Structure 1
Amino acid sequence: MSGKIYDYSKICDTIKDADPKIRFAGVINERGRLVAGGMKPNVEPLESEKDDEMIFMELALRVKMRREFDKQLGTVNFALASRERALAISVPINEDILYVAAEPDSDYGALPKKILEIVNS
């Protein structure tokens, strides 16, 4: 997914509307800063704003590290983390990262596919 110009705000809004279990959809730049999107309205955050900053920076670093193996394994389509209180999905878009957090009982088989369809449409 490189070279194409994406409307990050539209992508985030479409993803937040795509599934009632999605809590957050945002785009993080390579420095770990939120550049578009955010929390779904009327949803209580699980972490503080300071924790968000740390999560975003760690995510940016993790995605950068995964790119080290693109030549051997191919590019990453998405990464998924199933946690006790949330399902986290990251999708590389050019040099940025789409980060989606959903309820832990979300369909982790269907949700990433739905997100990729929105990004690629």
Structure 2
Amino acid sequence: MVKTPAEKWKDAVVKYRKQCQKILEISDSVRYAGIVNTYGRTLTGMIKPNLKPLLQSEDFKNELFVISTLISLRKNSVSSIGKLEYVVLQHQKITILVLQKNDVTFYVSINRKEKGLEKIISSIKKTI
């Protein structure tokens, strides 16, 4: 039986939600895990229970647009400098981790005070 595009889309979103859940379970320091398409639209995302988002809805949309634009512009340099592994953005309050796989971008926010960032990055890379 051949799946319809709608069924394929639903299966992909379910898979992405499971990946986000697994990312949240990696560490208590992980605040948010989401997956964004090439246009900066959220495919799925979840914040750790009982946490208040740091950004308002419109600010968060703008943040994701900037990230997706960055990732899109970097594609032209892959042949020269290699595939992007990940991007870390250090802010005063949080650390943002951006990874890409199969034309989707994983956007993960982590508490700034986290000392084992490399371990978390490694675990997330294995999860996706």
Aligned-partner Cα distance in 1 for 2:121–2:68: 19
Indicate conservation of the 8 Å contact 2:41/2:65, yes or no.
yes
SS of aligned partner of 2:121: helix
Match of 2:83 in 1: 75
Alignment of 1:1-12 (within 5 A): 7-12=15-20
Aligned AA for 2:60? D
Q: What is the CA RMSD across the aligned residues, in angstroms?
A: 1.4
Aligned-partner Cα distance in 2 for 1:93–1:51: 24
Indicate conservation of the 8 Å contact 2:89/2:97, yes or no.
yes
- The one of 76, 89, 111 equivalent to 2:97 is 89
Deviations 1:14-60 (A, max 9, x none): 00011001000000011101101221111111110111100010000
Does residue 52 of structure 2 align to residue 49 of structure 1?
no
Aligned-partner Cα distance in 2 for 1:84–1:68: 31
Match of 1:113 in 2: 122
Which segments of structure 1 move beyond 3 Å, counting only runs of 4 or more?
A: none
Aligned AA for 1:40? K
SS of aligned partner of 1:109: helix
Match of 1:58 in 2: 66
Comparing 16-25 and 38-47, the one that deviates more: 38-47
Alignment TM-score, normalising by the size of structure 2: 0.85
Does residue 34 of structure 2 align to residue 26 of structure 1?
yes
Aligned-partner Cα distance in 2 for 1:93–1:118: 11
Indicate conservation of the 8 Å contact 2:98/2:106, yes or no.
yes
Gaps of 5+ in 2: 1-11
Gaps of 5+ in 1: none
CA drift at 1:103: 0.3
CA drift at 1:66: 1.5
CA drift at 1:70: 0.4
